[in-house]
Amino acid sequence: MSETNEVESRFGLPVGGLFAAVGNKYIIDSVLPESSQFSLVDILHSLTFFGIFCILMVSAVALKLHNNNRIERAHRINKVGAISVIVGYVIANIYYILST
């Protein structure tokens, strides 16, 4: 896990992932037939966008706490946030994949 004050890697990687996810959505949308319903692919893309947003929020909160010399709390938020986002993302993906 990265340190709470490493700004470039904490924000650069999720933003790069966001661009990759948007590019993936455009490619998938051009391959699949057009539909007016919210499909499984749309749900999984939305989960991915929400997961990246959560990662950015945890990083911003941890960085703000670190800059305010609350380093121990920043590390705790970093660990709890990382585990929560990963577990939530995996569980949500499994749920939506199995429910269709």
Task: Write out pLDDT tens, residues 38-77.
Answer: 899 999 999 999 999 999 999 999 999 998 999 999 999 9
pLDDT tier, 80 (very low <50, low <70, confident <90, very high otherwise): very high
Q: What residue has token string 């993906």?
A: 93
Tell whether the torsion through CA atoms of 87, 93, 96 and 99 is positive or negative. Answer: negative
Is 2 part of a structural domain of the chain? no
Q: Is residue 44 part of a domain?
A: yes
Domain-located, residue 91: yes
- Name the residue range of residue 77's domain: 7-99
Domain count, the chain: 1
Flag whether 48 is in a domain: yes
Coil, helix or strand at residue 20? helix
Question: In this structure, is residue 69 part of a structural domain?
Answer: yes
C-beta neighbour count of 77 within 10 angstroms: 20
Do the domain assignments include residue 1? no
Any domain includes 14: yes
Q: Is residue 92 part of a domain?
A: yes
| 45 CB burial (10 A radius; 0-12, 13-18, 19+) | middle
Whether 61 and 45 have beta carbons less than 8 Å apart is answered as: no
Mean pLDDT value across residues 4-21: 83
